[in-house]
Structure 1
Amino acid sequence: MMTLNKLKGISIAVVLFVCLACNTQTKQNIASGNTSLKLVKTIDDLPLTMPLSITFTDSLEIVTGDIFSYRKLNSDEEWQISPADSTGTHAIAWKKDEAGKSIYYAVGTNKHQLLKFSSIAEKPEVIGQETIPELFRPHDILYNSADDYFYFINSDYTSDNKFLFRFKSFETGFEKLDLSSLFYRKEYAYARALSLVDGKIYIVVSSYGEVIRLNDFSNGAFTSYRRSASRESACAGSYTTTGLVLNDLEYYNGYWYATNYFSSAYAEGTNYNEYRFIRWKSWDDFTNNRFEDLSDLIDNNMVPYFLTIKNDCLYLAAFTDEGVSEKEGRVYVFQQKDKVWYN
């Protein structure tokens, strides 16, 4: 293993905070039954039962989850299984290096690892807790071309290690931002996902329905969009029992889209199929619980996880709710109704 530069902590110096919390857990559907989104197809031939994300490179389609699989871009070829010991890998990101070669980084969530691939068909280089002691169940990773950094989130509800890391390569080392001062309820905070919109990183706080826009990594400046929840913390639930338990967030064609971890195992007998997949127009809508429920666009008893945008389409990886259905995981592909489908 090559020697890495010492981890560099980034103190939080400036905080820009906007609290637009509401006081009630009111369900408000802003456009029920009249959505402009359409389901154009599903990808059902996956070799894995728990797909968590789909990622597109210039030559590959990559699906991560209980198995790490890939195939040629825009093809119907059989999915290949990566030789990486990457069970539980939630997400992968990529870029072209200076020589024009693709380089890939993935978060090995279940084994507390960061993986580097020179080729998806080969075993990766692995960094673990011996190099980054704070590394614990990293959930999401993305590449920001605006600053040429990879970012990954490390904030699980079972650990006090709540950090956002960034790096340019394994060789140049890692910077970390302590998220405990950004979270409204730091002792309960559990962040599953990152999103990139207009060059800004958005942190998706799953446990109590908050979204944080990072304005400046170096000084920790941020904007918080918060709404009320009926519980202080939840890793899953239903809209009635927990409020939002966010899995992911994307901005697509004028709307913010989000997924929630609603499941029969955590719903306490309430309706867990509603509000799994939602969207809203503005952050004022979000903080005041004005959502459009899109859950009827996906099968009942499916848990929608990470979202991806490609070629003006919105992709959604989803897996079967525990103990309810034998249906395997799939990827849903959506598009605006006024658009013509293409790969």
Structure 2
Amino acid sequence: MNVNRFLLLASNMVGVFGAALAGAAPPATSGGIQIVEYAPAKGSFPGCTQIVFHGKTEIVTTGDQLFFRTDSQLPFRQSAINVLKDAHAVVFNPVDQLFYATDTGNHRLITFADPARSDIRDSMGTLAGIKLHRPHDIVFDEGTGWLYTLNPESGQVFRFKDGGKTATALDLPPQLKYSRALTLSDGKLYVIGSSAGVVVEVTDFEKQQIKIHNSFEKKKDAPAGSWQSTGLVLNDVDFFNGHWYATSYFCPSYAGDTDYDENKFIRFKTWQDLKAGTWEDLSHLLPSRVVPYYLTPHNEALFIAVFNHKDRGESDKVYRLTISK
């Protein structure tokens, strides 16, 4: 056997056995894509929906709790912030040096400076004169300084600054129904039309202009399901390393007798590929039965928060996707 090939094989075997001894699953690989467990090192988060990074600080959103760390070599610990109810997302605003969280079950946004402290700086229950109702995602546009969030059931997307003092709303068409996520890519805002299985590209927020990208073989409007019964039920779509990656809310509780893993995690290159169904199914690289939720591109990796719909806190982790060069 070639010496270099032998050394490479030995190195790979050491990595697999090392992961097993550490209690982590070995990497899942396919066509240059590798997915590994990122956090927590042991156990499970109680229903994680997102991980966000700011400097050395990492925050995982898990419903009624946040978990954080300021050193990637240390374990995550629970935040002192204890007022959350079914929170979904966090983002850092460098303008006012505050974190903004969607306190979904309490129908508001909150701000805080340090996840290690219980201090809440501000609370926003309305934007642009409209009451927030289960706000899900929140993103920050570094190019403009705008923050964006959304009311998922009414299809209202909010753009705001100055702690909400400056705010406007975009009303999406009612047929889009339930929308779970927002994405900023290359200066453009995208709204993830979950139950309708579409991605809404906001071409001009001020003029209320949008473009709708439909998905292949959408069968019915639904908050969750399976590929065979509903078509895509998008949780999030984000751009990473030349591809769009998309997650769907597929799980045994909603799939019935159909396959709950098929097409729950896919990637494609163009919106035409989404429409034509010419995507790559990466679902086999994630554990069966879990729901992949929000995606976070960071430092040449794509992070995927997953949870078990039926038994929150079991198999709820953050995974890290990388692509070999």
**Bucket of the pairwise TM-score, normalised by the shorter protein:** 0.7 to 0.9
Q: Which amino acid aligns with 2:155?
A: K
Contact 1:204 1:212 in 2 (8 A): yes
Deviations 1:114-168 (A, max 9, x none): 1111332233221225995431111100000111100001122xxxx32110111
* Post-superposition offset of 1:320: 1.1
Once residues 171 and 92 of structure 1 are traced to their aligned partners in structure 2, the CA distance between those partners, rounded to angstroms, is: 16
Q: CA 1:335/1:229 → structure 2, altered by over 3 Å: closer, same or farther?
A: same
Deviates more, 1:101-110 or 1:236-245: 101-110
The answer for the alignment partner of 1:62 in structure 2 is: 59
Residue 227 of structure 1, CA deviation? 2.7
The DSSP-based 3-state class of the residue aligned with 2:274 is helix
- Where structure 1 has 5 or more consecutive residues not aligned to the other structure, the ranges are 1-32, 181-185, 339-343
> Whole-Å Cα distance in 2 between the matches of residues 151 and 110 of structure 1?
18
Q: 169-178 or 327-336, which moves further after superposition?
A: 169-178
CA distance in 1, matches of 2:172, 2:127: 21
Normalising to structure 2: TM-score of the pair? 0.84
The answer to whether the 8 Å contact 1:201/1:213 transfers is yes
**1:1-343 equivalences in 2 (<5 Å):** 35-44=31-40, 45=42, 48-66=45-63, 67-97=65-95, 102-120=97-115, 121-124=117-120, 125-128=122-125, 132-156=129-153, 161-170=154-163, 172-180=165-173, 186-187=174-175, 189-322=177-310, 327-338=314-325
Report which structure shows greater RCO (CA 8 Å, sep ≥6): 1
CA distance, structure 2, for counterparts of residue 253 and residue 297 of structure 1: 18
Give 1:285 deviation, angstroms: 0.8
User: CA offsets per residue over residues 297-334 of structure 1, 9 Å max, x none?
Assistant: 111111000000111011000001315x9733100001
The answer (yes or no) to whether the contact 1:58–1:73 under 8 Å persists in 2 is: no
- Contact in 2 for aligned 1:61/1:72 (Cα 8 Å): yes
| SS of alignment partner, residue 321 of structure 1 | coil
CA distance in 2 between counterparts of 1:46 and 1:134 reads 38
Q: How large is the Cα RMSD of the aligned pairs?
A: 2.1
Structure 2: distance between partners of 1:179 and 1:279: 25
* CA-CA distance at 1:289 after TM superposition: 1.0
Structure 2 letter corresponding to 1:332: Y
CA distance in 1, matches of 2:241, 2:91: 23
Q: Secondary structure at the match of 1:266?
A: helix
Matched position secondary structure for 2:162 = coil
Structure 2, unpaired ranges of 5+: 1-28
Superposed CA offset, 1:201-256 (max 9, x none): 01110012111111111001222111354444100000000000000011111111
Distance 2:223 2:132 in 1: 19
Q: Which amino acid aligns with 1:117?
A: F
Output the CA distance in 2 between the equivalents of 1:136 and 1:58. Answer: 31
In the alignment of these two chains, the number of paired residues is 293
The amino acid of 1:252's aligned partner reads F
**Whole-Å separation in 2 of the counterparts to 1:175 and 1:131:** 5
Tell me which protein shows more helix as a share of its residues: 2
The CA distance in 2 between the partners of 1:34 and 1:71, in whole Å, is 30
1:187 is displaced (CA, Å) by 4.1
Residue 39 of structure 1 deviates from its aligned partner by 1.4
Q: CA deviation at 1:290?
A: 1.3
Alpha-carbon distance in 2 for matches of 1:229, 1:93: 34
Distance verdict in 2 for CA 1:37–1:174, change over 3 Å: same
Return the alpha-carbon distance in structure 2 between the equivalents of residues 278 and 37 of structure 1: 12
- SS at the partner of 1:309? strand
**Rounded Cα–Cα distance in structure 1 between residues aligned with 2:182 and 2:51:** 14
Calculate the TM-score normalised by the size of structure 1: 0.80
The alpha-carbon distance between structure 1 residues 314 and 171, as it changes in their structure 2 partners (threshold 3 A), is closer
Cα 1:288/1:330, change in 2 over 3 Å: same
> What is the CA–CA distance in structure 2 between the aligned matches of 1:221 and 1:248, rounded to whole Å?
21
Bigger shift: 112-121 or 259-268? 112-121
Query: Aligned with 2:158: secondary structure?
Result: strand
- Post-superposition shift, 1:266? 0.8
The 1:288–1:71 alpha-carbon spacing in structure 2 relative to 1, beyond 3 Å, is same
